[in-house]
Amino acid sequence: MTSRYDAEYGAWRRDPEAFWARAAEDIHWDKRWDKVLEAGKPPFYRWFVGGRVNTCFNALDRHVDAGHGDRLALIYDSPVTGQKKTYTYRAFRDEVAKLAGAIAAEGVKAGDRVIIYMPMVPEAVMAMLACARLGAVHSVVFGGFAANELATRIDDAKPVMVLSASCGIEPGRLVAYKPLLDGAIDLAKHKPKACLVLQRDQQRCELVEGRDRDWRETVAKAAPVGCVSVAATDPLYVLYTSGTTGAPKGIVRDNGGHLVALHWSMKNIYGMQPGEVYWAASDVGWVVGHSYIVYAPLIYGCTTILYEGKPVGTPDAGAFWRVISEYKCAAMFTAPTAFRAIKRDDPKGTLIGKYDLRHFRTLFLAGERCDPDTLYWAQEHLKVPVIDHWWQTETGWSIAANCMGLGMLPVKPGSPTRAVPGYDLQVLDGAGRPVKPGDIGAIVAKLPLPPGSFPTLWNAEQRYVDSYMKEYPGYYKTGDAGFIDQDGYVFVMARTDDVINVAGHRLSTGAIEEVLASHPDVAECAVIGAADSMKGQVPLGFLVLKAGVHRADADIVAETVKMVRDRIGPVAFFKVATVVKRLPKTRSGKILRGTMQKIADSETYKAPATIDDPGVLPEITEALRAVGYARGKMA
């Protein structure tokens, strides 16, 4: 099929407001907007001003009203508990309406904030939709976050209520949530009026008299409530992302633009049809979980999968193929790091052959740059298009993608393809001047940002300007570095902080990682820039080897050093690499390069709140010491 991408992108460029007005016709509006775009106070742009809408109605009720109440809305699959459950659109709407009634009975109303601190269970999705039903603003905090991190979010959002659970379940261990919640409330200056707590069979908890409510008992007694109409520009949720000053940044998502953008994306980016099964293997605590586990699939009328498990270890590296096969999944979205873990444990893809994947059409990857070797491996073994796409918590959906619903463009490994309609991307140098095609610089997006992106930060308008809009006036600073080639393909090479300066030469750590990842024994890798008195910075490599590799580490390191010299040249000054068992990552799979760099540079560092396993940091420290670095101390 010939791609319609150029025609669609051209239509957006010619008349952005008409383009998004057409897309908005697919949403149910309680009141049609007065103005598509309010641009009178840049950089604070607002979409569908004057419109009124309810996100929960668009995600559930309208499908029931249209006669699709018996269609599956959500499949819950939990290998860590052995539980599976399905909900039709009608059943899920009824559950959400009852939960909304229970929340409303505690005094929660439109505009109030509710914090959701839960594991990957259906009630977490219900909680988000119940808040949306009432017009309340939810803020999901990743389950298991430390008490002090949860406390900072409580103090910033000032929630009326917290929805939580007794525990979360990781492979081989239970994480008690309730003591963390109690500790956070003790630490916080703001005190929520009530907590609704889901008691899980795997570990029950004590409830605080007068404040805590038992989830099941409370919901059972509640009367269902309908949807509350809110302004399109009212916030749907606040999602906190780590800030460089230590204070988390509350990313605001509005109702109207979010509905329009996510509905458009399901059809045009992911190539889905209503009624098909879609799976985002993420967590509801991250933006991917918000956009593509909960809201987009349900708004569009698909069946979404909620998976409480891991890509490996629950029980093996065939876990993803089992889920895709069992539920006839058409498209999957996950992080490249998940595939690198699968490739490490099953390098020949042997487990894939055990499952029937005939319904599977497309694999989408995002969250970390997808190295070409991982893309090639997935393509070879899955025999379907593997689509890298690029987006951020701030944007809420894709900045650049191969829009499968418009017809697939040629894939260039290492590139998330071209800017999606809504984004005018440019690459600028340090002085804010455009660079030539192929030259590395800061990737920016011309304002206004499209619907669905963040209109501001929660109670922090000046921080919004200072963090994102000030450095390049008229543009959104993505914080990512890379280049755009002659064909308009975007190459996101690193965070701007990960572009290292070696003797005056600006080098992308992503380009070096691309070479290391192509070594046949390397499952995944990371490169950081370490301080050097002569060169300014020098690159250091970390290599995680595939299962079953028994060669000498020194031989593999020597081969990777030669590969970088051959492919990038001596200018990279790549001489030091070390083999490690694992890399430090956030729970969403991002490698913590900044923390690794602080260890290497002998700076005092703190284990980030988002780290998946703090125990990996001492391992990294020892590996760096063995090659002459790392005298840093943990704060």
Would you say residue 243 has pLDDT above 60?
A: no
Contact present, 450 and 262 (Cβ < 8 Å): no
Distance in angstroms between the alpha carbons of the first and the last residue of the chain: 56
Higher pLDDT, 635 or 190: 190
Would you say residue 18 has pLDDT above 70?
A: yes
Higher pLDDT, 556 or 502: 556
Q: What is the pLDDT of residue 244?
A: 44
- Average pLDDT rounded to a whole number, residues 615-627: 90
Q: What is the pLDDT of residue 608?
A: 81
Would you say residue 389 has pLDDT above 90?
A: yes
Residue 49, judged by CB atoms within 10 A of its CB (0-12, 13-18, 19+), counts as: middle
Fold held by 503-626: GMP Synthetase; Chain A, domain 3 (3.30.300)
190-194, 321-325, 378-382, 526-530, range with the lowest pLDDT: 526-530
Task: Dump pLDDT digits (tens) for 70-100.
Answer: 999 999 999 999 999 999 999 999 999 999 9
Confidence class of residue 447 from pLDDT cuts 50, 70 and 90? very high
160-164, 334-338, 535-539, range with the lowest pLDDT: 535-539
* CATH value of 5-309+389-482 in 3.40.50.12780, 3.50.50.60, 3.10.20.30, 3.40.30.10: 3.40.50.12780
CB burial string 361-379: b at 16+ within 10 A, e below: bbbbbbbbbbbbbbbebbe
> And the tokens for 294?
């909960």
In the 8-state DSSP scheme, what is residue 571? G
Task: Dump pLDDT digits (tens) for 467-487.
Answer: 999 999 999 999 999 999 999
Would you say residue 504 has pLDDT above 60?
A: no
Q: Where are the alpha helices (H) located in 526-589, listed in sequence order?
A: 553-567
Q: What is the pLDDT of residue 245?
A: 44
Contact present, 325 and 356 (Cβ < 8 Å): yes
The CA-based angle 139-24-60, given to 5 degrees, is 55
Task: Dump pLDDT digits (tens) for 24-43.
Answer: 999 999 999 999 999 999 99
Pairwise CA distance, residues 24 & 32, whole Å: 10
Sign of CA dihedral 460, 462, 465, 466: negative
Residue 171: cis peptide before it, omega within 30 degrees of 0: no
Higher pLDDT, 566 or 376: 376
Higher pLDDT, 387 or 144: 387
Higher pLDDT, 565 or 579: 579
The domains of the chain are located at 5-309+389-482, 503-626
Regarding pTM above 0.75, the answer is yes
How many H-runs (helices) and E-runs (strands) does the chain carry?
A: 20, 32
Q: What is the pLDDT of residue 291?
A: 98
Task: Dump pLDDT digits (tens) for 558-570.
Answer: 999 999 888 877 7
Residues 6 or more apart from 285 whose CB is under 8 A from it? 140, 141, 142, 143, 145, 587
In the 8-state DSSP scheme, what is residue 458? T
Contact present, 422 and 450 (Cβ < 8 Å): yes
**DSSP reduced 3-state for 394:** coil
Pairwise CA distance, residues 553 & 213, whole Å: 55
Pick from 238-247, 400-409, 516-525, 561-570 the range whose average pLDDT is largest: 400-409
Q: What is the pLDDT of residue 633?
A: 58
Pairwise CA distance, residues 270 & 332, whole Å: 9
- Average pLDDT rounded to a whole number, residues 340-357: 94
Q: What is the pLDDT of residue 507?
A: 74
Would you say residue 497 has pLDDT above 80?
A: no
Q: Write down the mean pLDDT value for the chain.
A: 93
Q: Where are the alpha helices (H) located in 289-354, listed in sequence order?
A: 296-300, 319-327, 336-345
Q: What DSSP assignment string belongs to 163-200?
A: EEESEEEETTEEEEHHHHHHHHHHH-SS--SEEEEEPB
Beta bridge partners of residue 138, listed in sequence order: 114, 237
CA 237 to chain centre: 15
Beta bridge partners of residue 482, listed in sequence order: 441, 492
Contact present, 160 and 107 (Cβ < 8 Å): yes
Tell me how crowded residue 607 is: count the other CB atoms within 10 A of its CB.
Answer: 17
Domains 5-309+389-482 and 503-626 share a fold: no
Confidence class of residue 506 from pLDDT cuts 50, 70 and 90? low
Rg of the chain, C-alpha, whole Å:
24
